Amino acid sequence: MTNPMDTFETLNPPQRMLMGPGPINAYPRVHQALSQSLIGQYDPVMTGYMNQVQSLYRGVFHTQNQQTMLVDGTARSGIEAVLVSVLEPGDKVLIPVIGRFGHLLCEIANRVGAQVKTIDIEWGEVCMPDQVEAAIKSFQPKLVATVQGDTSTTMNQPLAEIGEVCKKHGVLYYCDATASIAGNELKVDEWHLDAVSAGLQKCLGGPSGSAPITLSDQCATVINQRKHIEAGIRADHHINGQGKMIQSNYFDLAMIMDYWGPERLNHHTEATSMLYAARECARLFLEEGPDTVIARHKQAGDALAAGLVAMNLELFGNQTYKMNNVVGVYIPANIDGDAVRGELLSRFGIEIGTSFGPLHGKIWRIGTMGYNARQECVLTTLAALEAVLIKHRANINPGQAVAAAIEYYA
């Protein structure tokens, strides 16, 4: 037992290079934003920042959606807010499962009381639009819910054609783009997505703790049909929706929309420092330019993958659909994957990831995201991994990896 009066030492975390599937090192400007002064929730400066954040994330999401805002919490708070606000108990939802986060969508939808039908895809592959169309025809869901980049398998689910299919059949379409946004193309309006949620701790280059979301007008209408404003703040002009009350108060997007909207109806207290961070992440992305940032992620991802192959390691999954920002690589035979990860951390200060479920202990996942989608991060990680693998007597080609990766930065 520790002494409850012990104040421990001043925080002094080590400098790590976070090259796993997230979280990653934040951009220095995001750290600066996080340390700015706190102001009141309804200070006109603060509500001004809230409006700016809405505008900035319309840019990030490639959308005109009025309803673009932050949910306060990690990325799964955005997922949960969308699913609990859209799906009433008994509603049908169709979920292609390409990895761990597809299972998470199912789990949340089940908790909400929805009828869940899955399309189960082998890990390392993606779902085809005709599979979705066939399932829509037989199951008639209210919502199709997908994950774009599922970091558990490193695959990037193509969304545009599924969006067409959903539009054709009048089905709402939601996507969790946490791991893919800002590192891979995402066009919310063009691809007919009705709801998208994300997080900061992948390619947006911030800490976890804020979930940007966007909702189409149609999706907002569906949610507003369930609006029940809290008794303590309700006024005469507020009329309850016809639909069933949303089961969560914190994740009630009908009320959250009113908090971000012109009425500014009090809901939670906006997480000021996280809003500053989210704002800076979006500014960095838009300033550098979406195409440039995505190309930088592709360059880093391709360089890393080429280095791993040159080292004589085997990549995981269908490479046609690989996310730009994270690669899965098989742990070589007779090598203790966790021991190698441990030595990368203790000797080099570099963190890489393991995986979940059927891939646990079989692959490592190495990310190049946000601030770390840079040449020096790629080269240092390859050099360090090679050194540790040589120490563990793995059957690799020494001296090849860094040279192969450098070619991508000629």
CB 136 within 8 A of CB 171: yes
CB 172 within 8 A of CB 140: no
What amino acid is encoded at 239 in this protein? I
The least CB distance from residue 158 to ligand PLP, in Å, is: 15
Which of the ranges 70-78, 128-136, 242-250, 313-321 carries the binding residues for ligand PLP, by CB under 6 A?
70-78
Please compute Rg for the chain using Cα positions. 22
DSSP 70-93: EEESSHHHHHHHHHHHHPPTT-EE
CB 306 within 8 A of CB 407: yes
Check binding of 208 to ligand PLP (CB under 6 A).
yes
Residue 150 Cα distances to 11, 124, 244, 275, angstroms: 33, 10, 32, 25
Is residue 271 classed exposed, middle or buried when 0-12, 13-18 and 19+ CB atoms within 10 A define those classes?
middle
Please pick, from the candidates 67, 151, 156, 272, the single residue that binds ligand PLP as defined by CB under 6 A.
Answer: 151
Please pick, from the candidates 147, 165, 166, 171, the single residue that binds ligand PLP as defined by CB under 6 A.
Answer: 147
What amino acid is encoded at 29 in this protein? R
Check binding of 72 to ligand PLP (CB under 6 A).
no
Q: Which is nearer to ligand PLP, 184 or 332 (CB)?
A: 184
Interactions with ligand PLP, residue window 5-34 (CB under 6 A): 22
User: If DSSP codes are grouped into helix, strand and coil, which group holds residue 403?
Assistant: helix
Which of the ranges 88-96, 144-152, 348-356, 396-404 carries the binding residues for ligand PLP, by CB under 6 A?
144-152
The least CB distance from residue 406 to ligand PLP, in Å, is: 29
The Cβ of residue 184 has, within 10 Å, a number of other Cβ atoms equal to 20
Q: Which is nearer to ligand PLP, 125 or 263 (CB)?
A: 125
Which of the ranges 143-151, 256-264, 357-365, 394-402 carries the binding residues for ligand PLP, by CB under 6 A?
143-151
Q: Which is nearer to ligand PLP, 155 or 304 (CB)?
A: 155
The least CB distance from residue 121 to ligand PLP, in Å, is: 15
Residue 118 Cα distances to 96, 172, 408, angstroms: 5, 16, 39
Q: Which is nearer to ligand PLP, 168 or 360 (CB)?
A: 360
Handedness of CA 291, 33, 258, 226 (dihedral sign): positive
The least CB distance from residue 179 to ligand PLP, in Å, is: 3
The least CB distance from residue 209 to ligand PLP, in Å, is: 8
Check binding of 178 to ligand PLP (CB under 6 A).
yes
Check binding of 101 to ligand PLP (CB under 6 A).
yes
Q: Which is nearer to ligand PLP, 179 or 331 (CB)?
A: 179
In sequence order, the β-bridge partners of residue 215 are 67, 195
The least CB distance from residue 321 to ligand PLP, in Å, is: 14
Which of the ranges 27-35, 159-167, 175-183, 247-255 carries the binding residues for ligand PLP, by CB under 6 A?
175-183
What crossing angle do the helices spanning 75-86 and 217-224 adopt, rounded to 10°?
60
Please pick, from the candidates 176, 258, 302, 386, the single residue that binds ligand PLP as defined by CB under 6 A.
Answer: 176
347 to 376: interface string for ligand PLP, x by CB under 6 A = ------------------------------
131: its two tokens: 């599979």
351: its two tokens: 């963190």
Dihedral angle at the C-alpha atoms of 216, 218, 220, 225, nearest 10 degrees?
Answer: -170
Query: How far is Cα of residue 397 from the mean position of the Cα atoms in its chain?
Result: 34
Which of the ranges 3-11, 27-35, 147-155, 217-225 carries the binding residues for ligand PLP, by CB under 6 A?
147-155
Check binding of 156 to ligand PLP (CB under 6 A).
no
Which of the ranges 71-79, 227-235, 346-354, 385-393 carries the binding residues for ligand PLP, by CB under 6 A?
71-79
Residue bearing tokens 């908790």:
111
The phi and psi torsions of 383 (rounded to 5 degrees) equal -65, -40
Closest CA to 350 of 378, 330, 331, 322: 378
Q: Which is nearer to ligand PLP, 199 or 212 (CB)?
A: 199
Tell me how far apart the alpha carbons of residues 330 and 324 are, in angstroms, rounded to a whole number: 18
Check binding of 75 to ligand PLP (CB under 6 A).
yes
Longest dimension (CA), the chain: 74
Q: Which is nearer to ligand PLP, 104 or 350 (CB)?
A: 104
Site residues (CB under 6 A) for ligand PLP?
A: 22, 74-76, 101, 147, 150-151, 176, 178-179, 199, 208
